[in-house]
Amino acid sequence: MPIDRQSAHRQSPSPGLKRAVLWSAAAVLAASAGACASTAESARPLPAWFVEQQAALEQEGYPRLENVPDRVDATVDDGHWDTVTRELDAAATDMMADPRSEPASAAAQEDAEAVQFSEQAMEELQTTRGAAPAAPAATVPPTLPLETPAEAAPAAPPAAPE
């Protein structure tokens, strides 16, 4: 039977496969080193509180799943829930009586000082824009007067040339 040249000449493994094998070997070595380090750490003496807790658990034993109750006993006493309701209602009343519980937006809208401050700031801004120092006309864009949305009106279309 003749030997085919392509089947007789095997290609070496791809570089990706070589890289994967090398990374796997590195991971195994790192895990082994980690296991040795954790064994060395366990040789340190344990804290006293841990030793005491460990001894208590060994005496009592770990809890068993069979010992968990099948049903939960909820508080069904109406008197208990009436007391809880009264306490919650009293806490809600106290909270609502606190001035800090008012909505911030409603308090700001009703505050006359805030409105006065805003008006003064707008006047100062308009004055400042009008009192800009002289500069070459080419470097300073024209300033427009500030207007509120109520004062703004749609611009009239330019007149047609005659």
| pLDDT digits 0-9 by tens, 112-128 | 777 888 889 998 888 88
Structure tokens at 72: 């939960």
SS3 of 74, please?
coil
Q: Which residues contact 130 (CB under 8 A, 6 or more apart)?
A: 143
The count of other CB atoms within 10 Å of the CB of residue 126 is: 14
91 vs 88: CA distance, rounded Å: 5
| Phi, psi (rounded to 5 degrees) for 8 | -75, -30
Provide the pLDDT confidence category of residue 146 given band limits of 50, 70 and 90. low
Provide the pLDDT confidence category of residue 150 given band limits of 50, 70 and 90. low
Residue whose token pair is 């089947």: 7
How many residues belong to the chain? 162
Residue 153 burial (C-beta neighbours within 10 Å; 0-12, 13-18, 19+): exposed
63 vs 66: CA distance, rounded Å: 9
Q: What is the pLDDT of residue 93?
A: 94
pTM of the model: 0.24
